[in-house]
A and B are shown apart, each in its own frame.
Chain A
Amino acid sequence: MAFLKILFDNLREGPATEAFPFGEAATPDAYRGKVTFDETNCVGCNMCEHVCAGGAIRFSEKEDGLHFLIWHNTCISCGLCAHYCPTKAIKLSNDWHLSHLQEEKYEQVDHAVVPYRHCTSCGERLQPGGPMLHQLAFKGTNPRSQRLMNMCPDCRRKASYSGEAL
Chain B
Amino acid sequence: MKSFDMPVGPLHLSLEEPMYFRIDVEGEEVAGIEITAGHVHRGIEYLTAKRNIYQNLALIERVCSLCSNSHPQAYCMGLEKIAGIEVPERAQYLRVIADEIKRAASNMFNVAILAHIVGFESLFMHVMEAREIMQDTKETVFGNRMDLAANVIGGVKFDIAEDRIAYVIAQLNKLEPILVKEIIPLYETNSSILSRTRGVGLINRDQCIDYGLMGPVARGSGYAYDVRTAAPYAVYDRLDVEVITYPDGDVWSRAMVRLKEVVEAIRLMRLCLRELPEGPLTAGPLPFIPAGEAITKVEAPRGELIYYLKTDGTDIPARVKWRVPTYMNWDALEVMMVGGRISDIPLIVNSIDPCISCTER
Contacts and interface: CB of A to CB of B under 8 A. Distances in A.
Interface of A: 2-3, 6-7, 10, 16, 28, 30-32, 50-54, 76-80, 83-84, 86, 92, 94
A10 B128 CA distance: 13
A30 B58 contact: no
A76 B285 contact: no
Interface string B44-73: 000000011011111101100000000000
A28 B143 contact: yes
B157 A83 contact: yes
A83 B139 contact: no
Contacts of A50: 52, 54
10 contacts: A7-B122, A28-B143, A50-B54, A51-B54, A53-B58, A76-B62, A78-B58, A78-B61, A78-B147, A86-B285
Contacts of B58: 53-54, 76, 78, 80
Given A3-B122, A79-B149, A31 B143 contact: yes
Contacts of A51: 52, 54-55
Nearest to B189: A2
Interface in B110-154: 122-123, 126, 129, 132, 139-144, 147, 149, 152
Given A28-B143, A32-B144, A86-B285, A6 B132 contact: no
Contact of A83 (B51, B56, B147, B152): B152
Nearest to B51: A53
A31 B149 CA distance: 12
A53 B59 contact: yes
A16 to B, nearest CB: 5
Main secondary structure of the interface of A (DSSP, over half): loop
B146 to A, nearest CB: 11
B182 interface: yes
B143 A16 contact: no
Contacts of B31: none
Contacts, number: 71
A142 to B, nearest CB: 25
B50 to A, nearest CB: 12
Contacts of B122: 3, 6-7
A79 B142 CA distance: 10
A77 B54 contact: no
A73 to B, nearest CB: 16
Contacts of A86: 285
A54 B47 CA distance: 12
Nearest to A55: B55
A10 B147 CA distance: 29
B140 A28 contact: yes
B285 A84 contact: yes
A76 to B, nearest CB: 6
Interface string B172-209: 00000000001001100110000000000000000000
A78 B149 contact: yes
Interface string B272-315: 00000000000001100000000000000000000000000000
A79 B147 CA distance: 11
A52 B140 CA distance: 23
A83 to B, nearest CB: 4
Contacts of A31: 139, 143-144
A122 B58 CA distance: 44
A128 B186 CA distance: 63
A83 B158 CA distance: 9
Nearest to A26: B136
Contacts of A78: 57-58, 61, 147, 149
Contacts of B54: 50-51, 53, 80, 84
A16 B185 CA distance: 22
A86 B284 CA distance: 12
Contacts of B144: 31-32, 77
A30 B141 contact: yes
A52 to B, nearest CB: 7
